Chains A and B, each alone.
Chain A
Amino acid sequence: MDAVRPDSFLVEVLDHHGRAQTRLRFPLVEGRGEATVGRGLAADVLIDDAHAAAVHVRIAVDDTGAVRLSDLGSLNGLVVGGKREHGATEALLTGEVFQIGRTRLRVRTASEKLPAEKPEGSARLELASASGRLALAGAGAFLLYGAYAAWVEAPRDVASSMVTHVAFSAGAAAIWITAWALLARMLTGEWRWLRQAALFFGVMVAIGVIENLLEIAAFAWSLPPWPSRELLLGVLGFGALLFGHLSIASHLAARHAVILAAVLPLLVGGTSLWVQSRSDARNVNHIGMDERIYPGALRLRAGKPLDTFFANAATLSQQAEARRKEVPADDDADEIDLLD
């Protein structure tokens, strides 16, 4: 509690990363004090922000340490606690940061809580922490899955195939995690390796498990084909990863991260699904009914009688006819009809 003298308070103008660009100290008389912020000379704290009024806001600290903001008749108002307020008089500042125009400011009083001093060398990875344990377990499961993927194909040389698979998976994971750690370092000043790794491995393993369980379930109950299953899972996984990584690596507001994590995968996934389904629908050679078989012992539903199948199949010709009409031949316009 001795970072700020109780007879003064600080107003900091923050940069995009939340670090103080300028810092001004104002006196407290009997625990009270005031400062104004704006673009004009009359303001105590000057900011270069075209979206701020000449004297935009008054910051008042009372003897209980509470900070109140008064809008001094600005056009754009204040953003306090994530909400924009116009013409606010006496808005209570919760937290420390508020925004006017495009500029964020922090008010620091004697009541602020400082985190404890970090010891030197604390940059080393704390594998025993929760995210450390999750990252380790996730990495183990992820690499095991890579080994399984090689083993299940029963290649001639299982060992080399497994090593290749595992090395490739590990390399790809390392690149991905490093990229996000680098972004975190740039945006927040911290690497956050373990949280990035825990997130990545956790999501990947979850997606892998869900995909395999769905596949086995489809086999066990003879479920109808669901061709966009993998893409859907991919979109979900990508969205989860994006949200997690953005939250860890940046100061992005949670709702912005959610929007980004929803919009981007949906956009990518939706576009590719649309392009793929359109090209499949127009490709007269497309069947796309590959099947993943599991041991017969896993089957839980008996086969249908042939009569049922062929009763359904009898209408295929009509379906094919409808599709034939839907998809014109490229040269229909100038083709000479064999039957004309």
Chain B
Amino acid sequence: MSFLRCFQIGLFTSWAGLAGAGAWAQLPPQAQSQSPPPGLAPEGVGLVVSEAARDLLSRVRPAVVQIKGFFGGNTSQAFHGTGFAVAPGGLFVTNYHVVAEQVTYPDKYRLEYRTPEGATGKIEVLAVDVRHDLAVVRTEGFAPLPLRLDARVPDKGSRAFSIGFPLDVGLTITEGVSNGRVEDSFDPRIHYSGAINGGMSGGPALNARGEVIGVNVSGYRFQQLVSFLVPAAHARQLLDRALAAPAPSQQLKRDAVAQLQAHAAALVGALVGEFPTQRVAGYVLPAKITPFVDCSASGDPAPQSPVQTVTIKCSAKAGLYVQQGLYTGDLSYAHYVLSTDKLDGWRFARKLSGYSSAKGAFGSRRHVGPFACEKSVVKLKGFDASLLVCARNYRRLEGLSDLTVRVISLNHGLQGFASHLDMYGVDYAAGLAFVRRFVEAMEWTP
């Protein structure tokens, strides 16, 4: 659903005014101007420090730096995250989204590191892995002993620690539990039950032996301690690539684009096969079409309104953060199934019209062009429906398009549905083929 994507974008740009819970969000590179004063830091930020944590922190501390981005010649930071040493010679791992602006606009942003002791110096990006939100960087004039990577995913219930610079309040360790690999996620993630806050992005998550099990990446904002790590195996792979062939800065952008295209292709490629469907008020509609798509269905158990509405919303949550205001490679859809025993067909049709507005996701003119649309009444299985398909192309990511689809049933007087399907940053032909299978799965079975 489009609002979810807007919501994610919102999390990157603003701390204020975000209502609702359960939004999946990558941690923003903490923007300086938006940091609350230290005294107002959210409750529970890195306060659980056990004996083990203290020992671990003192061992790991020399290998962790804060990574700061500056716009132009400013001496105040634009964003910041965390990085940790993984190889001799000052090679550090961090999140791609911490360095994304600099990779995209190398002439406009510069990166610096800052050690816990306060030493600073320049940073150069060597390799990026957009799909897993990782980057390998080299620090100038600072080469601590690297941390060890443990490529195995820890068992559920293992103790784990996360280190970083949350909200710019200084080096922080949080203690929690690894809950193993996230089930049914399109991109591999470890579920960490501990606090990760903005600014800790790119920091290491460690097991009790002090080995890196993952990289801090994201968390559900407004939920308690549900956070996510990128498994260390992916950091290992990227490091090997960086060591073998560090990319010049122009190549980094090309790599990023190619990885986005590959991710989009992988997403659409994962949507093959028969769709599971569900039947609501006589209509058969696509349900949770793959394991990594999350669906929720809601209705009104004691309806006061003359129209009963069942809402089914599904989202793949597979989108990649490319840069501010730009996500690609995601999919979401929603069905609004309406029925009435109180209204006549004339007024019921008017109610259904209220769901006809196709909005798509919010896109910035900087990243996408305008929509082109095709609309017609089509024959589906057992009923006719109004079908609208709109597409717009990305400006810089060649071959990627946004697709927005709306289906409204036109057959019955007192039952009907409107479905909205949005795909972000996918190959048009592959996306359209999916759209066709999506509408072909719909059926009227009175």
Q: Does A214 contact B (CB under 8 A)?
A: no
List residues 339-364 of chain B with CB under 8 A from any CB of chain A: 343, 345-353, 356-360, 362-364
List residues 271-285 of chain A with CB under 8 A from any CB of chain B: 281-285
Contacts A286-B371, A306-B439 given; indicate if A320 touches B391 (C-beta within 8 A).
Answer: yes
- Contact (Cβ within 8 A) A303 B378: yes
State A323–B393 Cα separation when bound (angstroms): 9
Residue on A nearest B367 in the bound complex, by CB: A329
Q: Does A330 contact B (CB under 8 A)?
A: yes
Give A203 Cβ to nearest chain B Cβ, in Å.
25
Q: What residues on B are CB-neighbors of A324 within 8 Å?
A: 368-370, 392-393, 395
The residue from A281, A285, A294, A314 contacting B359, defined by CB atoms under 8 A apart: A285
| Segment of B138-146, B213-221, B293-301, B402-410 in the binding face | B402-410
The residue from B369, B370, B378 contacting A305, defined by CB atoms under 8 A apart: B378
Q: Does B222 contact A (CB under 8 A)?
A: no
Residue on A nearest B387 in the bound complex, by CB: A309
Q: What residues on A are CB-neighbors of B256 within 8 Å?
A: 338
- Contact (Cβ within 8 A) B386 A291: yes
State A153–B411 Cα separation when bound (angstroms): 20
List residues 135-186 of chain A with CB under 8 A from any CB of chain B: 151-154, 156
The residue from B360, B371, B375 contacting A320, defined by CB atoms under 8 A apart: B371
Contacts A284-B392, A289-B388, A309-B387 given; indicate if A296 touches B410 (C-beta within 8 A).
Answer: yes
Give A328 Cβ to nearest chain B Cβ, in Å.
9
Give A196 Cβ to nearest chain B Cβ, in Å.
33
Q: Does A117 contact B (CB under 8 A)?
A: no
The residue from A153, A282, A285, A310 contacting B360, defined by CB atoms under 8 A apart: A285
Give B117 Cβ to nearest chain A Cβ, in Å.
35
- Contact (Cβ within 8 A) A323 B379: no
State A47–B410 Cα separation when bound (angstroms): 74
Q: What residues on B are CB-neighbors of A326 within 8 Å?
A: 370
Main secondary structure of the interface of A (DSSP, over half): loop
Q: What residues on B are CB-neighbors of A263 within 8 Å?
A: none
- Contact (Cβ within 8 A) B353 A284: no
Contacts A287-B358, A293-B350, A338-B397 given; indicate if A323 touches B370 (C-beta within 8 A).
Answer: yes
Q: What residues on A are CB-neighbors of B366 within 8 Å?
A: 329-331, 335
Q: Does B54 contact A (CB under 8 A)?
A: no
Q: Does A304 contact B (CB under 8 A)?
A: yes
Q: Does A313 contact B (CB under 8 A)?
A: yes
- Contact (Cβ within 8 A) A287 B360: yes
- Contact (Cβ within 8 A) A282 B365: yes
Give B105 Cβ to nearest chain A Cβ, in Å.
5
The residue from A153, A281, A303, A310 contacting B377, defined by CB atoms under 8 A apart: A303
Q: Mark B162-181, 1 if CB is under 8 A from A, else 0.
A: 00000000000000000000
Q: Does A302 contact B (CB under 8 A)?
A: yes
Q: What residues on B are CB-neighbors of A321 within 8 Å?
A: 369, 393
Give A325 Cβ to nearest chain B Cβ, in Å.
8
- Contact (Cβ within 8 A) A316 B359: no
- Contact (Cβ within 8 A) A337 B413: no
Residue on B nearest A291 in the bound complex, by CB: B356
The residue from A152, A302, A305, A309 contacting B374, defined by CB atoms under 8 A apart: A309
The residue from B396, B404, B439 contacting A339, defined by CB atoms under 8 A apart: B396
Q: What residues on B are CB-neighbors of A316 within 8 Å?
A: 372-374, 389-391, 428, 432
Q: Does A299 contact B (CB under 8 A)?
A: yes
State A299–B353 Cα separation when bound (angstroms): 15
List residues 75-109 of chain B with CB under 8 A from any CB of chain A: 104-108
Q: What residues on A are CB-neighbors of B358 within 8 Å?
A: 287, 289-290
Q: Does B152 contact A (CB under 8 A)?
A: no
Q: Does B47 contact A (CB under 8 A)?
A: no
Give A48 Cβ to nearest chain B Cβ, in Å.
62
Q: Does B305 contact A (CB under 8 A)?
A: yes
State A125–B375 Cα separation when bound (angstroms): 53
Q: What residues on A are CB-neighbors of B388 within 8 Å?
A: 287, 289
The residue from B365, B379, B408, B410 contacting A306, defined by CB atoms under 8 A apart: B379
Q: Does A121 contact B (CB under 8 A)?
A: no
Give B352 Cβ to nearest chain A Cβ, in Å.
5
- Contact (Cβ within 8 A) A306 B436: yes
- Contact (Cβ within 8 A) A289 B375: yes
Q: Does A259 contact B (CB under 8 A)?
A: no
Contacts A304-B378, A316-B428 given; indicate if A337 touches B370 (C-beta within 8 A).
Answer: no
State A287–B374 Cα separation when bound (angstroms): 11
Give A237 Cβ to nearest chain B Cβ, in Å.
23
Q: Does A340 contact B (CB under 8 A)?
A: yes
List residues 284-325 of chain B with CB under 8 A from any CB of chain A: 304-307
The residue from B253, B356, B377 contacting A304, defined by CB atoms under 8 A apart: B377
Residue on A nearest B410 in the bound complex, by CB: A296
State A336–B411 Cα separation when bound (angstroms): 50
Q: What residues on B are CB-neighbors of A289 within 8 Å?
A: 356, 358, 373, 375, 388, 390, 406
Q: Does B440 contact A (CB under 8 A)?
A: yes
- Contact (Cβ within 8 A) A299 B384: yes
Q: What residues on B are CB-neighbors of A154 within 8 Å?
A: 306-307, 343, 347, 350-351
Given contact pairs A293-B408, A295-B349, A321-B393, enumerate 9 new A-B contacts (beta carbons under 8 Å): A156-B304, A292-B353, A303-B380, A313-B389, A316-B372, A316-B428, A320-B428, A325-B369, A338-B253
Binding site for A on B (CB under 8 A): 104-108, 250, 253-254, 256-257, 304-307, 343, 345-353, 356-360, 362-380, 384-393, 395-398, 401, 404, 406, 408, 410-413, 416, 428-429, 432, 435-436, 439-440
